Amino acid sequence: ALDQSAIVAITDQTGRIIHVNDKFCQISRYSREELLGSNHRILNSGFHDAEFFRSMWKCIAGGKVWEGEIKNRAKDGSFYWVNTTIVPFLNEEKKPYQYVAIRYEITQRKAAEEATRVYAARLEASNRELQDFASVAAHDLQEPLRKILGFGDRLQSAASGALNDQSRDYLDRMLSSAKRMRRLIEDLLTFSRVNAKARSFQATPLNAVLAEVLSDLELRIEQSGAAVDVGELPTVEADASQMHQLFQNLLGNSLKFHREGVAPRVEVRGRVRGDLAEITVRDNGIGFDEKYLDRIFTIFQRLHGRHEYEGTGVGLAVCRRIVERHGGSLVAASRPGEGAAFTVILPRRAGAELT
């Protein structure tokens, strides 16, 4: 069975081929007569440098098994990849007298890996260009917008008395729209900078982050009569400034989307599951229908009109982007009128993967 599925060759201690199976001949396109007595250099593709083979020979000449992936060239000039295990056979003096090489072709796997690598590189470049475009476009839009707001404010202050009711209404609408546009631009810049302006990961106590967030939201908490209960939270390796932004957005939403006549109640709880940290922000607000789960994390998407609740529809998109930059996930659960729960799952150590 091994002889049928594997590519097998045996060489003497100098590397001269003394046996090959049919599979070896088939993939290399060489006849058995051409291979016997020759060296494996006959298959050298030029892909690996001299140090690669020196390291391999040092390993097997020392009596140790070597494993690795090698790109070979067949007689017809085509290339193929093999996963190779070379086992030295030792004499009574513990010196190798021959080597058995067992190989399995992995050409298709390597081609798929290369295609994935190229696709990922193109995607990264595309994302970088999109971030740069968003940042530049938003920055360039700010200057003319400042002038609209500046001259609009001057006109409102200096000539308001000379305007009739309809003209004052037009001016108010213009300034209101310009201010809303400014918020959109600022949020777009925030979204585009999640990766571009990112800092390195460091040990970040999330209780300390939440303490700062509650301090920043103190006035809103007082005005809404909210109660915020934060439990014991874990420490994670993260960008502390982005953790602040993440939880300020989540808590800010809990304060914003509260039911009329009902004071907001927000609970923040954390737990550790192996290498993962799980933090849930739960509230008693208006909630939402879970059929809109994908929509709430899409930039500029809103479930409510701007006259009902302020905002631009960027906050949760920023949250998801921050969490994904940290190798984590952000999920939500809710029912209309029964509040919402947003759960952040993060690796406790930078570079770890979710399982």
Question: For residues 8 and 211, what is the distance between their CA atoms, to the nearest angstrom?
Answer: 64
Based on the domain organization, do 46 and 120 belong to the same domain? no
Number of domains in the chain: 3
- Which of 64, 66, 63 lies closest to 96 in space, CA to CA? 63
- What's the pLDDT band for 318 if we cut at 50, 70, 90? confident
> What does the pLDDT look like over 89-108, one tens digit per residue?
999 999 999 999 999 999 99
Based on the domain organization, do 231 and 324 belong to the same domain? yes
> What does the pLDDT look like over 187-228, one tens digit per residue?
667 766 666 555 788 999 999 999 999 998 999 999 999 999
Which residue range forms the structural domain that includes residue 235?
A: 200-355
Domain end, chosen from 150, 176, 197, is at 197
Domain end, chosen from 76, 105, 134, is at 105
Based on the domain organization, do 290 and 209 belong to the same domain? yes
- Which of 104, 99, 103, 77 lies closest to 87 in space, CA to CA? 99
pLDDT reported for residue 312:
61
Question: For residues 187 and 299, what is the distance between their CA atoms, to the nearest angstrom?
Answer: 10
Question: Mapping DSSP to helix (H, G, I), strand (E, B) and coil, where does residue 102 land?
Answer: strand
Based on the domain organization, do 223 and 175 belong to the same domain? no
Angle at which helix 206-216 crosses helix 240-256, to 10 degrees, equals: 50
Question: For residues 13 and 95, what is the distance between their CA atoms, to the nearest angstrom?
Answer: 9
Q: CA torsion, points 127, 244, 265, 307, in degrees to nearest 10? A: -50
Based on the domain organization, do 150 and 298 belong to the same domain? no
Based on the domain organization, do 229 and 349 belong to the same domain? yes
